[in-house]
Amino acid sequence: MKLLEQDVTVIYRSPDPKGVFVYSPAITVLKNGRYVFSNDMGGPRIKEHPNWQEVRNNGWFGQIFTSDDKGKTWQYRCARNFIFGRTIEGENALYLLGVESDNGCKNLVVYTSFDNGDTWDNGSFLTSNESWHQAPCNVWIENGYVTLVMERCYNFEGEKTSGWNVASLAPVVMRAKLSDDLSKRESWVFSNEVRFRDVVDDDELEMHGIPFFHSMKYRNELPKGTDLTEFPGWLESNIVRIKDPAHYWYDESGNTFHIFMRAHTAGTGYCCVMKAVITKENDKEVITVMPQTVPSGRKMVYLPMPGGQMKFHICWDEKTQLYWLLSTQATDSMRRKELLSKERFNIPCDERQRLQLSFSKNMVDWCFAGLVAKGDSEKQSRHYASMEIDGDDLLIASRSGDADASSAHDTNLSTFHRIKNFRDLVY
């Protein structure tokens, strides 16, 4: 199959592929045509990286780049204390929202630029003494507001936890006016917090094959050392508004959003969905996250989605009135764990080599548009990608690896891909 990608460029290459890893690509097109890109860096030798000197923290760090020639060349701008960064162009400044990266995932932090990304301040915190998570998923900008999702991390006493505690992540919807100072906590409205394990009852999951391996109800009885990456949960949340008045989930008032999340089931082909409803209480905006229901009255949390088992990115295109989905294509998720090749990462559903593009008019039924990119081996990933529309083209930033990569997860490249005239893919 012919790949969709054109004008592929390496934005960043790790100087030490086995000791410094490259993660979390995010791309934004500014109103003046400039591209802004961010990634983050980790690994056992992260403190030996020259740009770490700008941060000098105890963990990972983020980097910011710009391009003024449509992605042909990229200029490094700075390193800061963040991971999972996303850039938002406000009315009065450019902002980067991420998670504090000093020795683990900590508070929400915002960095501000008043010169379209040339220089950045030292950051302002939106939270304190908390732990947050996310990935560079989408940002919904409409009617002078920005709406997005970050994920609050919870670890409860007596619960066996690890860095992969996806059953206790709460997707938190955040909303602010683009005219306000997004570096200030008072500019944002935060939703309530609902964890996966508060919503999903194992006893209601029969006949779905979810979870593929372990049941969550036995989590606290498992022996020490059990691989928690096999347990179900949700993470890496995108947010959209249903635009079609004929859709069952359409809200004429415009006050309902839907959260689409990576479904970690140890299987493939499903995402998780929740809705967020905006109301007014004492003239203040309140956002409430809750399960979506279907006409029968049943709650729906799991929804079929191509590549929903891995971090995906959703983009709304006003011209086609379609949602575009950038996701990871699975081809071999039923291979037994003990028979996986050495180049495969983790469990069978974690295949990361192929990046696919799909489109939908309703966020439920997806049409395959094509294969964006493909690594030359199972270790050479094209995954965890972000995208942005620029005129008639679709821009993609991928977490990628070549033959020097440490693993399919711990990659060594940030790559830039362009799909020209992407709307011609609609059929």
Q: What is the pLDDT of residues 290-318, one digit of tens each?
A: 999 999 999 999 999 999 999 999 999 99
pLDDT value at 255 more than 70: yes
Task: Specify the pLDDT at position 209.
Answer: 86
d(CA 345, CA 362): 33
CA atoms within 13 A of residue 290's CA, in its CB half-sphere: 10
Share of the chain above pLDDT 70, in %: 94
* pLDDT bracket for residue 202 (50, 70, 90): confident
* pLDDT bracket for residue 237 (50, 70, 90): very high
When pLDDT is averaged across residues 152-168 and rounded to a whole number, the result is 68
pLDDT value at 221 more than 90: no
d(CA 59, CA 74): 25
* pLDDT bracket for residue 229 (50, 70, 90): low
Average pLDDT, the chain: 93
Task: Specify the pLDDT at position 159.
Answer: 54
pLDDT value at 337 more than 90: no
d(CA 276, CA 425): 31
Q: What is the 3-state secondary structure (H, E, C) of the chain?
A: CCCCCEEEEEEEECCCCCCCEEEEEEEEECCCCCEEEEEEEECCCHHHCHHHHHCCCCCCEEEEEEECCCCCCCEEEEEECCEEEEEEECCCCEEEEEECCCCCCCCEEEEEECCCCCCCCCCEECCCCCCEECCCCCCEEECCEEEEEEEEECCCCCCCCCCCCHHHEEEEEEEEECCCCCCCHHHEEECCCCCHHHHCCHHHCCCCCCCCCCCHHHHHHCCCCCCHHHCCEEEEEEEECCCCCCCCCCCCCCCEEEEEEEEECCCCCEEEEEEEEEEEECCEEEEEEECEECCCCCEECEEECCCCCCCCEEEEECCCCEEEEEEECCCCCCCCHHHCCCCCCCCHHHCCCEEEEEEECCCCCCEEEEEEEECCCCCCCEEEEEEEEECCEEEEEEEECCCCCCCCCCCCEEEEEEECCHHHHCC
Contact assessment for residue 210 and residue 202, using Cβ atoms and an 8 Å cutoff = no
pLDDT value at 207 more than 90: no
Contact assessment for residue 12 and residue 413, using Cβ atoms and an 8 Å cutoff = yes
Contact assessment for residue 380 and residue 401, using Cβ atoms and an 8 Å cutoff = yes
When pLDDT is averaged across residues 126-144 and rounded to a whole number, the result is 96
pLDDT value at 103 more than 80: no
Domains of the chain from N-terminus onward: 6-218+227-425 (2.120.10.10)
d(CA 240, CA 137): 11
Q: What is the pTM of this model?
A: 0.95
When pLDDT is averaged across residues 93-105 and rounded to a whole number, the result is 89
Task: Specify the pLDDT at position 65.
Answer: 98
For 199, phi then psi, to 5°, come to -105, -40
Q: What is the pLDDT of residues 112-134, one digit of tens each?
A: 999 999 999 999 999 999 999 99
Task: Specify the pLDDT at position 174.
Answer: 98
Contact assessment for residue 322 and residue 333, using Cβ atoms and an 8 Å cutoff = no
Single-letter residue type at 212: F
Residue 401's nearest CA partner among 10, 3, 27 is: 10
Q: What is the pLDDT of residues 261-282, one digit of tens each?
A: 999 998 999 999 999 999 999 9
- Biggest CA pair distance of the chain: 59
* pLDDT bracket for residue 168 (50, 70, 90): confident
